[in-house]
């Protein structure tokens, strides 16, 4: 339905034209109309016509299946590599927990992760991160952006870059959702020089994003019709003003109704009790279930921050609780994605800003440690059962295959088919998507 519930008889020709144009603007075909009107538009319009295949339902469904996704589980505060992916049982630094064999012969992980031990075929482990900075803020910035040195310009985080590479301009779903419910170490991240279009939809207190449901005082019909009236004004304004910021304003408003209708993706009540039971009753579990729903609907990047791993005291109690939960939820997420045929298109990554010291302090804690720690990758594009890098017997330093943040990012890009050598341009300055020198870790890629 258009702007009016019934076509008014006395509508002037120019008003009708403008309203048609407004409808088109809302329907997202204004670009074609605009180009056809211009002298050079004809050739371009023809090539746009070929793109109409994108509108076909079969093709769209196919495209959606091929779409890649990343779920980043951010272990805020810094998880211990020794209680997860790089155990050192029997050493002075090893702590009380044992190591267990995994489904891949020769690979052991902490006994706190029995479920993940059975899912090594979907897992690649990196045990040799050396990111040098062991201060929460500075380190988080490095592991969020993949850049070790301040670039003098605001740089996009991983989610924004992936949203930029994989998001579709006319997408009806958000392309970067970030959940951070606890307040410890909360950081919003951001899209830096890529611009507000790629900023995260950021969920903190609530599980449902803000302002995605209509006020009750307004009917759905009026909500939509006033949008048409707005588009009518917008279309008039745009004439003779081909400005990208103005376009971004219009496309933000065009995306509103789609985003609103996708708000139900955040509602886990719509999942069966059996499914919810699988993920468990914890907030982290529920957020991972939401992440699966989002990915299934086509969202390219979801980040879930699980806090707070900063165990300067009582490291082992903290990790007994947090690793056990991580093991369960991560395993469930992997199984669920695999059951739905989504795992081969979805990469899950787990890491935080750094790891924890091998030496155990007097409060039975482990402190910040950035020179030899671990990350894990699961699902799309990785070689299951692979392990990259080695630390020494006590886990004090990397002795083989040192990995920087830029290498980790290059690996993630490569795994989901993004060219890690791509360059952005900020004015005249080239800024590579992967920080200078970053190389994918070939050995753990499929």
Partner 1 sequence: MSQTLRFMIAAVYGLLLFSGKVGYAAEMPAVDLPIPTAIDRLLADSHERMRIVPARRADDRTLLRRTTLDLAGRIPTPQEIVVYEQDSASERQSRLVDRLLAATDYAWHLRNELDAMLLSGGNSPQEWKEYLLQTSRANQPWDETFKDLITPNQEDQSKRGASHFLKSRVNDLDDLTNDTSSLLFGVSINCAKCHDHPLVEDWKQDHYYGLQAFFARTYQTKSQRLAEKPPAELTFKTTAGVEKPSRLMFLTGATVEEPADPRTDDQKKADLEEVRLQREKDDQAPPVEPAFNPRAELVRLALQPENRTFMARSIINRTWARLMGRGLVHPVDQMHSGNPSNHPELIDWLERDFIGHGFDVKRLIRGIVLSDAYARSSQWLYAEPQPSPDDFAVALVRPLTPNQLASSLLVGTSSPDRFQKAFDSGGWDELREQLEKQAAGTAKLFEYPGENFQVSVTEALLFNNAQRIENDYLRISQDRLAGYMQESLRPHDSGEQAGDGEIDAMIKTAFDVVFARHAQEDELQAFRHYFQDRGDRSPAAVQQMLWAMITSPEFRFNY
Residues that bind partner 1 (CB under 8 A): 3-6, 8, 10-12, 14-15, 18-19, 149-152, 174, 193, 195-197, 199, 201, 209-215, 217-218, 222-223, 225-227, 229-230, 232-234, 236-246, 248-250, 252-253, 255-256, 259-260, 427-429
Handedness of CA 213, 216, 218, 220 (dihedral sign): positive
Q: How far is the CB of 251 from partner 1 (least distance, A)?
A: 8
Q: Which two tokens stand for residue 145?
A: 């952006």
d(CA 296, CA 172): 13
Q: How far is the CB of 67 from partner 1 (least distance, A)?
A: 19
- Of 17 and 65, the one with the shorter C-beta distance to partner 1 is 17
Write 234-237 long-range contacts (CB < 8 A, 24+).
Answer: 234/22, 234/25, 235/18, 235/21, 235/22, 235/25, 235/30, 236/18
d(CA 190, CA 176): 10
- Of 1 and 273, the one with the shorter C-beta distance to partner 1 is 1
- Of 332 and 406, the one with the shorter C-beta distance to partner 1 is 406
Q: How far is the CB of 258 from partner 1 (least distance, A)?
A: 9
Q: How far is the CB of 428 from partner 1 (least distance, A)?
A: 7
d(CA 207, CA 291): 11
d(CA 312, CA 361): 8
Q: Can you tell me whether residue 306 is helix, strand or coil? A: strand
Q: Which two tokens stand for residue 232?
A: 């009518």
Q: How far is the CB of 212 from partner 1 (least distance, A)?
A: 6
d(CA 213, CA 259): 10
Q: Residue 406's closest CA among 433, 379, 378? A: 433
- Of 52 and 423, the one with the shorter C-beta distance to partner 1 is 423
Q: What are phi and psi of 431, to 5 degrees?
A: -125, 110
- Of 51 and 215, the one with the shorter C-beta distance to partner 1 is 215
- Of 34 and 232, the one with the shorter C-beta distance to partner 1 is 232
- Of 115 and 223, the one with the shorter C-beta distance to partner 1 is 223
Q: How far is the CB of 405 from partner 1 (least distance, A)?
A: 16
- Of 243 and 267, the one with the shorter C-beta distance to partner 1 is 243
The dihedral formed by the CA atoms of 71, 409, 163 and 64, expressed in degrees to the nearest 10: -60
Identify whether the C-beta of residue 244 lies closer than 8 Å to the C-beta of residue 31.
no
Q: How far is the CB of 167 from partner 1 (least distance, A)?
A: 11
Identify whether the C-beta of residue 276 lies closer than 8 Å to the C-beta of residue 56.
no
Q: How far is the CB of 193 from partner 1 (least distance, A)?
A: 8
d(CA 249, CA 287): 30
Q: How far is the CB of 262 from partner 1 (least distance, A)?
A: 11
d(CA 355, CA 79): 5
d(CA 103, CA 82): 19
Q: How far is the CB of 432 from partner 1 (least distance, A)?
A: 13
- Of 176 and 351, the one with the shorter C-beta distance to partner 1 is 176
How many CB atoms sit inside 10 A of residue 2's CB? 13
Q: Which two tokens stand for residue 319?
A: 């990790």
Strand segments (E) across 276-328: 301-307
- Of 251 and 324, the one with the shorter C-beta distance to partner 1 is 251
């Amino acid at each position: 339905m258009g702007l009016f519930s019934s076509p008014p008889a006395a509508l002037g020709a120019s008003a009708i034209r403008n309203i048609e144009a407004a409808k088109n603007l809302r329907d997202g075909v204004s670009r074609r109309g605009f180009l056809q009107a211009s002298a050079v538009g004809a050739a371009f319009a023809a090539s746009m016509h070929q793109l109409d295949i994108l509108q076909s339902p079969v093709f769209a469904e196919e495209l959606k299946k091929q779409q890649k996704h990343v779920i980043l589980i951010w272990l805020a505060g810094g998880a211990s590599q020794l209680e997860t992916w790089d155990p050192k049982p029997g050493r002075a630094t090893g702590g009380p927990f044992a190591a267990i064999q995994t489904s891949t012969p020769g690979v052991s992980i902490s006994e706190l992760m029995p479920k993940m031990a059975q899912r090594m075929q979907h897992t690649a482990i990196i045990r040799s991160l050396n990111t040098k900075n062991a201060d929460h803020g500075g380190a988080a910035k490095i592991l969020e952006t993949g850049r070790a040195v301040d670039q003098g310009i605001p740089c996009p985080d991983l989610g924004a870059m992936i949203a930029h590479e994989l998001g579709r301009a006319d997408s009806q779903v958000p392309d970067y959702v970030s959940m951070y419910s606890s307040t410890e170490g909360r950081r919003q991240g951001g899209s830096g020089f890529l611009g507000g279009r790629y900023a995260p939809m950021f969920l903190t207190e609530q599980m449902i994003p803000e302002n995605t449901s209509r006020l009750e005082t307004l009917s759905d019909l009026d909500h939509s019709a006033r949008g048409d009236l707005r588009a009518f004004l917008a279309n008039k304004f745009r004439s003779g003003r081909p400005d990208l910021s103005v376009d971004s304003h219009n496309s933000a408003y065009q995306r509103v109704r789609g985003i609103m209708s996708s708000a139900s993706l955040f509602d886990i009540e719509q999942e069966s009790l059996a499914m919810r039971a699988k993920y468990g009753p914890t907030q982290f579990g529920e957020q991972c279930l939401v992440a699966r729903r989002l990915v299934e609907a086509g969202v390219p990047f979801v980040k879930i921050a699980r806090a707070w791993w900063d165990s300067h005291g009582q490291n082992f109690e903290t990790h007994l609780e947090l690793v056990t939960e991580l093991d369960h939820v991560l395993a469930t997420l992997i199984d669920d994605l695999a059951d739905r045929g989504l795992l081969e298109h979805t990469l899950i990554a787990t890491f935080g800003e750094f790891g924890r010291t091998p030496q155990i302090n007097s409060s039975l804690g482990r402190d910040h440690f950035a020179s030899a720690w671990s990350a894990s990758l699961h699902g799309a594009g990785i070689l299951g059962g692979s392990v990259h890098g080695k630390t020494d017997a006590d886990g004090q330093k990397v002795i083989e295959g040192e990995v920087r943040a830029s290498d980790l990012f290059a690996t993630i890009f490569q795994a989901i088919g993004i060219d890690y050598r791509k360059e952005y341009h900020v004015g005249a300055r080239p800024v590579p998507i992967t920080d200078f020198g970053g190389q994918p870790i070939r050995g753990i890629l499929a």
